[in-house]
Structure 1
Amino acid sequence: MPSPAASPFDPRLAESGRLPTLVVLVGLFMVTVTPFVAGLVQGQTADLGRNLLYAAATAALLWSVWRGSVWAWRLTVGMCMVAGLVVFVVGLLVGSVNWQGWVVSGAGLVYLLLGTALVGTAAIRAFLDSRWEMRGQQLRRRP
């Protein structure tokens, strides 16, 4: 893991990255659980347990990113890219016969944009770098 001195991101941006990071993580959670909530609103409760498990697992993963886990960040970014691409392509295929496919493609683009924001926004990366450093110090202090 690179040291904070080797980071290309300005540590002075760390505090200003708190809110954008929170917005991106909440946005990822919202995009992920929207189909589940929409199904509930329509009265579809067939896969309730599985969907609640997925929502809880998503929340746990995003909470780990917020707390400063590098592996959770890498997993989140990777899943955003893969899911975003797959959802986008599936939406395009469905969109050729049904207008809802374009909504699905939009969700894929949102995944791609939010995942890219976790990697490419300087303030978010500075905030996450500071969290990673704090977490690393806490882990080194444990006996």
Structure 2
Amino acid sequence: MAASSPFDSRQAEAGRTPTLAVLVGIFMVTVTPFVAGLVQGQTADWGRNVLYAVATAALLYSVWRGSVWAWRLTVGLCMVAGLLVFVVGMLAGSVAWQGWVVSGAGLAYLLLGTALVGTAVIRAFLDSRWEARGRQLRRGR
């Protein structure tokens, strides 16, 4: 018998908007370089970048729907990408000011990934989604 989820239903409902904001923020940080390149007329890798954008949207939608593995993958990718982007930005920042903008993107990944783990209302919302998805999967068997 599975243990009941520790989430508070009032917190879970309050976490809907912050969760959506964090997921949209992750998507926006991910696609901003692609959109900026398109605005500047750089269309060389548009197919690959569209594929990345669609894959990111699918992963974040899975988090929204209540997939635990998608949440774990998203948090892991945010942490790894955040650290790598931050370090690359710091290295580039010693040569050009644009590197500091890249470092800011790395920090954004780190903060958004941490928000998925450490914000109480977001965790309560995701816990409620996980429990509902688990019930749905158990009924489907």
TM-score (norm 2): 0.96
SS at match of 2:15: helix
* Aligned match for 2:99, one of 98, 101, 116: 101
Aligned to 1:53: 51
Extract unaligned runs of 5+ from structure 1. Answer: none
Aligned to 1:14: 12
Aligned pairs (5 A) from 1:110-125: 110-125=108-123
CA 72–3 in structure 1, closer or farther in 2 if over 3 Å, else same? farther
**Number of residues of Structure 1 aligned to a counterpart in Structure 2:** 140
TM-score (norm 1): 0.95
Instruction: Using the TM superposition, give the Cα deviation of residue 129 of structure 1 relative to its aligned residue in structure 2, in angstroms.
Output: 0.2
The letter of the residue matching 2:133 is: R
Alpha-carbon contact 1:4-1:129 (below 8 Å) kept: no
The letter of the residue matching 1:32 is: T
2:118 paired with 1:133: no
2:47 paired with 1:43: no
SS at match of 1:14: helix
The letter of the residue matching 1:21 is: T
The letter of the residue matching 1:29 is: F
Aligned to 1:85: 83
Per-residue displacement from partner, 1:84-138 (whole Å, max 9, x unpaired)? 0000000000000000000000000000000000000000000000000000011
Per-residue displacement from partner, 1:31-67 (whole Å, max 9, x unpaired)? 0000000000000000010000000000000000000
CA 4–111 in structure 1, closer or farther in 2 if over 3 Å, else same? farther
The letter of the residue matching 1:54 is: Y
2:26 paired with 1:28: yes
Extract unaligned runs of 5+ from structure 2. Answer: none
Kindly report structure 1 stretches of 4+ aligned residues shifted beyond 2 Å. 2-5, 9-12
The letter of the residue matching 1:60 is: A
User: RMSD of the TM alignment (CA)?
Assistant: 1.1
